[in-house]
Every structure is written in structure tokens, then in C-alpha cells.
Amino acid sequence: MVKRFTQYGPVADDADIYQYPEHLRDQLADLPRGPGVYEFHGDSDTLPLYIGKSINIRTRVMSHFRTPAEARLLRQTRTIRYTETAGELGALLLEAQLIKTRQPLFNKRLRKNRQLCSLRLQDGATPEVVSAKAVDFAHTPDLFGLYGSRHAALETLRSLADDHQLCYGLLGLESLRAGRPCFRAALQRCAGACCGRESRAAHDARLRTALERVRLVCWPWQGAVGMVEQGPTMTQIHVIHHWLWLGSVSDPQAAQALSRTAASFDQDGYKILCKPLLRGDYPLIYLDKR
């Protein structure tokens, strides 16, 4: 017999095991139909079982009640809490922060704060893996990709080499013997920059082109900015610096005070904010860093 699993645990084979969680029915009546973040709590007030977000909190929470796959989560839940936001962006930012800081039992995505790495490529040099602890990702040019480990970064480099006939030796993935081509050159899997069949400049240009699609964008402002998100019932100013969300407030004066908080590069903030910020999807307030 093959067991099926979801993020909430094994799926019960016997549908009779699932029972509608009547003990939570009364709490559903007060759930809002707008955007925000919700939390399922068990016996602990401080350690949630699960954290989620939605543009319609009530609809999303109700969806958990309709599948036996989530029976284990619902049996342990005693309280459902929620925080409303102005819109989807605020919900995304709050969810990412809460999952990382509160470490809910049933959340997998975003839970671990890993050692963030990137690939740095400088003209004429071998690509190197750099960590966010050693390099300021918000301001360092020629960084490509975000990876949870050095191994993941090198695997990406190896994959690019295979796809674009790049030389493992020139990429620092294996040792080259003086005056001899790499092993892959004999197999026609390397275009031959290691043995003079092509120039190093041509090799590096091809590598840079392949990496451009994952180039990290440096923080383009002097200090923090406030992204203004207007919702049906509230307006929030999301204060961002170095791609890190510092918090959300309702007025510019509070945003100015929040902008003075020290900030460092944040992977989740970058992934959530980069496109909407650079596209100009939201009005911006420029906050002086003092």
C-alpha cells in the first residue's frame, strides 16, 4: 500500500477519519473577506501550527475545512487568528516575516533562514561563490542568482556550462593541466577556450549572457522608500530598505521613523518586491536615511 503525503502529513486512507472540526465553527463567522494573514494555533499562543495569506481570508481559511488531507492540522487547531492588510503585497510581506520568525509546525516554505549565496562574475576572473555575510548584496554589482548554499550555486554554474559549452576548468569547477584541454573539450561539450579554439573573452561573454536573466538588482535608492498600498478599507505604507521589509504603517511620519531601522539584504523581500518596485506598481515615498 502506498501512502500519500501532503505538507500537513500523511493522507488518511479511510475517509471516515476526517470529521468536520465543529469546535472551530463559531470562529469562522468573524473572518473578514479581505486580504491579510491568518494563523492556526493549537495549545500554544506563541507557536502557531500554520500561517497562511490570502486576498480573501475567509475564503482561504474555509478551503482548509474541505479536505481530509488537512485533518491532522484541524484536529490540533484551537484558535484561528488573523491580521488584515491593505492588499496582497502587505499580506505577502507579513506572511514571509511571520513564518521565518515564528517557525510554524506545518509550514515548510520560507521556514529556514539559510546561508544565502550568489555568484559574482568580474571581467577576466573565475566566477566565485559569495555569501550575504561577506558581501552586501544590496549594493554589490555583478551578482547573479540567489542560492541557499554554496553547493546549489555551483550546481547552477555546472548546469550553465553544460547548456552553453562552457569550460569547467575556466569556471573553477575542475582543475586544468597546463597546456592541455579539459576532458569535456575532447567530447565537444566545451567550446575550447581552455585550448585556444575560442578566446577567453568569447567564453566569458557567453557566460555573462547566460547569467543575465538572474542578475541581482542593486538597491537603487540612497535610503529607504515607502510603497503605498491602497486597499478598500485601509492604506498601508510598506517601508523597504536594501530589499528588507521594515514594517508597514499608516502615515508618512511613522514611516520616517521606521526608515531609520538598520537593514540588510533579505532574500524573500527581494523576490517579493523587486518587480513591483522597479515596475512602479505602487506610489513611492522617498524616506531620507539619517
Q: Write out pLDDT tens, residues 140-161.
A: 999 999 998 999 999 999 999 9
Who wins on pLDDT, 26 or 94?
94
Instruction: Give me 33's grid cell.
Output: 473577506
Q: Report the range of poorest mean pLDDT among 58-72, 154-168, 212-226.
A: 58-72
Burial class (CB in 10 A: 0-12, 13-18, 19+), 183: middle
Map grid coordinates 573539450 to a residue. 185
Same domain, 190 and 124: yes
Residue 36 lies in a domain: yes
Residue 166 has pLDDT above 50, yes or no: yes
Residue 71 has pLDDT above 90, yes or no: no
Residue 219 lies in a domain: no
Q: What is the mean pLDDT of the chain?
A: 89
Angle (CA) 25 31 37, round 5° = 120
Same domain, 255 and 169: no
In DSSP terms, which residues pair with 5 in a beta bridge?
A: 10
Same domain, 196 and 237: no
Domain CATH for 80: 3.40.1440.10
For residue 15, the model assigns a pLDDT of 44
For residue 111, the model assigns a pLDDT of 53
Same domain, 269 and 191: no
Q: What percent of the chain has pLDDT over 70?
A: 91
**Full residue range of the structural domain in which residue 193 is found:** 117-214
Same domain, 202 and 121: yes
Same domain, 45 and 94: yes
For residue 92, the model assigns a pLDDT of 97
Q: HSE of 149 in the Cβ direction (CA atoms, 13 Å)?
A: 4
Who wins on pLDDT, 75 or 53?
53
Assign 18 a pLDDT band (cuts: 50, 70, 90).
low
Our count of domains for the chain comes to 3
Final residue belonging to a domain, choices 214, 242, 277: 214
In DSSP terms, which residues pair with 235 in a beta bridge?
A: 230
For residue 284, the model assigns a pLDDT of 97
103 Ramachandran zone, left/alpha/beta (phi>0; psi -120 to 50): left
Residue 3 has pLDDT above 60, yes or no: no
Final residue belonging to a domain, choices 151, 180, 214: 214
Same domain, 32 and 60: yes
Residue 9 has pLDDT above 60, yes or no: no
The pLDDT of 215-234, averaged and rounded, is 94
Same domain, 192 and 257: no
Same domain, 230 and 166: no
Residue 290 has pLDDT above 60, yes or no: no
Final residue belonging to a domain, choices 179, 214, 249: 214
For residue 12, the model assigns a pLDDT of 47
Assign 7 a pLDDT band (cuts: 50, 70, 90).
low
The pLDDT of 15-20, averaged and rounded, is 60
Residue 112 lies in a domain: no
Map grid coordinates 539584504 to a residue. 265
Residue 220 lies in a domain: no
Amino acid at 240: I
Same domain, 277 and 232: yes
Same domain, 159 and 80: no
Residue 109 lies in a domain: no
In this predicted model, what pLDDT tens digit does every residue of 99-115 receive, in sequence order? 999 999 998 765 555 67
The pLDDT of 216-228, averaged and rounded, is 94
Same domain, 13 and 83: yes
Residue 91 lies in a domain: yes
Q: Is the Cα torsion angle 150, 119, 213, 216 positive or negative in sign? A: positive
For every residue of the chain, DSSP letters joined together read ----EETTEEPPSSGGG----GGGHHHHTT--SSSEEEEEE-S-SSSEEEEEEESSHHHHHHHHTT-GGGHHHHHH--EEEEEE-SSHHHHHHHHHHHHHHH--TT--TT------EEEE--TTS--EEEETTTS-TTT-SSEEEEESSHHHHHHHHHHHHHHHT--TTTTTSS---TT---HHHHTTSS-STTTTSS-HHHHHHHHHHHHGGGBPPPP-SSS-EEEEEE-SS-EEEEEEETTEEEEEESSHHHHHHHTTS-----HHHHHHHHHHHHHT-S-EEE----
Greatest pairwise CA separation for the chain in angstroms: 77
